[in-house]
Amino acid sequence: MAKEVLLRGGLVACPTESFYGLAVDATHEEAIRKLFSLKRRSPERPVLILIPSIESLTKYVTDIPPVTFKLTREFWPGGLTLVFKASERVSPLLTAGTGKIGIRLSNHPVATALAQSIGKPITGTSANISGAPPCRHASEVFDYFKEEIDLIIDGGETAGAIGSTILDVTVDPPKVLRDGMVQRRHLEKFMEAGLE
């Protein structure tokens, strides 16, 4: 059922490593617009995507710096979002016009299964109104969105805590844009130049 909802441009809430997330087919322009509207999210704020497999990365980026391979071997699937130069397949809505896209291979079985079911990336933004607290329970997602959301996958309580670490690999040395699940000290050993 979730696959059908995504393929027709619908919105699905699902558990992730930290909180519940809002998933749409990240290649479906109208679905992305609905996502921004539902979350009341500013178009100036980008949205990361969760890819179905590491092999699919090349479809959505124009350049893969060498350090990427070290990082993905160690931290994917997991809580590290890497920021790349986006390919033309990526909607400017997701990049907020920056030309860059945050990408992650999730280690949560539900989120990854959703992306794999459609063979395309899904959005990985938190299931909440922008600026409001994220959700750890499916019931909280419903409280936010009621019938505006097409499907909520109840995976029980999520771990909460913090979101993914965001690392921009389009610059040298790579730069941490947001601290999160993967600590800086664990990243530094993978970069000869260290981190800013």
Domain boundaries, given as residue ranges, for the chain: 2-188
Residue 194 has what pLDDT? 46
Distance of alpha carbon 132 from alpha carbon 134, whole angstroms: 6
**Residue 138 neighbours by CB under 8 Å, 6+ apart:** 13, 15, 20, 152, 153, 154, 155
CA distances 87 to 62, 78, 102, 191, Å, are 5, 23, 12, 25
Q: How far is CA 25 from CA 51, 55, 82, 93, 153, in A?
A: 11, 18, 19, 13, 16
Mean pLDDT, residues 71-86 taken together: 96
Residue 59, CA distances (Å) to 5, 53, 55, 65, 171 in order: 23, 11, 9, 15, 20
Mapped onto helix, strand or coil, the DSSP state of residue 63 is coil
Render pLDDT for 81-120 as a digit per residue (tens, 0 to 9).
Answer: 999 999 999 999 999 999 999 999 999 999 999 999 999 9
pLDDT band for position 196 (50/70/90)?
Answer: very low
- Residues 20-67 have pLDDT tens digits of 999 999 999 999 999 999 999 999 999 999 999 999 999 999 999 999
Residues in the chain: 196
Distance CA 71, CA 90 (A): 22
3-state secondary structure of 6: helix
What top-level class would CATH report for the domain 2-188? alpha beta
